[in-house]
Structure 1
Amino acid sequence: MDQLERPRPGIIPLILMGALTGLLSGLFGIGGGVLLVPMLVLFLGFQQRLAAGTSVAAILPAAIVGGIGYAVQGNVDWVAAPLLAIGIVIGAQLGSFLLSRTPTGFLRWMFMVFLLAVAVSLWFVVPERDDTIEITVLTGTLLVLTGLLTGVLSGLLGVGGGVVVVPILMFFFGASDLIAKGTSLIMLIPGSISGTIGNSRRRNVDLRSAAVLGIAASVLSPLGSVIATWIPPFWSNVAFSVLLGLILIQMLVRVLRRKR
């Protein structure tokens, strides 16, 4: 059966997944794909490729609303965000191209390795709340390259890019955790649009499911951005790494069961 001909998932499960994704998206400054892709695969039977494409599309409303929430609080770097966006728009097209030509099994293992690397890195990145990004020619160039890498991962794995950009902005560019999260969400807006256009052309996105997920996510995303200001940076990192670890374990168990 073609991946787009399978039975449509129910509205209620999509709303619940979208709401949870939106809350955590605002809380951690991620688009939500790192949570949404495994949930779509594990609970709604999406193929990895379709889950990745649908996640990229669903990220858009949550990124817009969550980004506005951070911007209102003054937690967006308006110079770094467009520089990252330049790279992510180009990279998302490349990633969506590779998505249609990469074996599903390889994608799944690549995604799990990616989750593990991010979860471990979060224990070593503990920023200060008053840290800012110093923009120079060098850092500007590196921000564009970071966006390019993020865009490829976004299109290929269905992650919004926040799980890549937030740790990088904190660890390599000296941003505070709130600035990193807010800037990441703003950057994801053009990246999501670019990736979705590419995935739609290659039939790697369920637009109906993405719309329901995205609308539900956008409702709770602002709440997550407010809660983020109440949590100390270290404990925010710990919580995020634990969440990623639980997702990784679920996916690993499922893969091992299929091999029996």
Structure 2
Amino acid sequence: MNLFDLLLNLLLGLGLGTLGGLFGIGGGLIAIPVLGIVFGLDQQLAQGTALVMVVPNVMLAIWRYHQRNRIDLRHALVLGVTSFFFAWLASLYAVEMDSRTMRWAFVGFLLALATYNLVRMLMAQVPASGELRHPWGWLGVLGGVSGAMGGLFGVGGAVVATPVLTSVFGTTQVVAQGLSLSLALPSTGVT
């Protein structure tokens, strides 16, 4: 590895760590396209490499979030256990897919995610609260869907869970990011 490649890798790692901590995601959402486009990795290798890079970011971020805003252990466990199981199942499917098909599916996933967030911004906002709008058992469904997306696309599921926690469950952004990291850690580890 030459000096330019080393500096590029360090800059990428610093940028991903910063963005991951700021937005409560591991950074894979940014790393995967960069690794695929700039570094020329196929989709599965880009996702796998991003997961290795993201795990320390997620561990540090969840520790910091928990220090400042206590994460409800019951909610974190429901999200973590279901995301772990569904991430494992989806990752088995993901490694068997054709790389080109997987890249197109990843692009579709990003477009759907952007559309969902755009629609949310245009809709009337309901004030956030400290209590969940729906019974906490429904977090298992969210953990399963988020874990499956994380297992399939290598993004840990936090990018799916955070907007759903704020819009559907009514949590604050900070609580949503902490809970999203709680589900991302086990699913990222297994994926």
Please report how far the alpha carbon of residue 127 of structure 1 lies from its aligned counterpart in structure 2 after TM superposition: 6.4
Please report how far the alpha carbon of residue 155 of structure 1 lies from its aligned counterpart in structure 2 after TM superposition: 1.7
Report 1:82-93 matches (<5 A): 82-93=77-88
Would you say the 8 A contact 2:20–2:27 is kept in 1? yes
Counterpart position of 2:164: 168
- Count of matched residue pairs: 186
Aligned equivalent of 1:134, options 132, 135, 155: 132
RMSD: 2.2
Please report how far the alpha carbon of residue 187 of structure 1 lies from its aligned counterpart in structure 2 after TM superposition: 2.1
Would you say the 8 A contact 2:156–2:185 is kept in 1? no
CA 1:23–1:101 in 2, change beyond 3 Å: closer, same or farther? same
CA 1:189–1:100 in 2, change beyond 3 Å: closer, same or farther? same
Residue 41 (structure 2) pairs with residue 46 (structure 1): yes
Unaligned runs of 5+ in 1: 1-6, 196-260
Counterpart position of 1:215: none
**TM-superposition CA deviations, 1:183-216 (whole Å, max 9, x none):** 1112211112111xxxxxxxxxxxxxxxxxxxxx
Report 1:144-163 matches (<5 A): 144-163=140-159
SS of match in other structure, 1:91: helix
**TM-superposition CA deviations, 1:70-98 (whole Å, max 9, x none):** 11211633322111101111111112101
Report 1:1-260 matches (<5 A): 10-74=5-69, 76-123=71-118, 124=120, 128=127, 131-134=129-132, 138-140=135-137, 142-195=138-191
Moved over 6 A (4+): none
More relative contact order, 1 or 2 (CA 8 Å, 6+ apart): 1
TM-score between both structures, scaled by the size of structure 2: 0.87
CA 1:84–1:135 in 2, change beyond 3 Å: closer, same or farther? farther
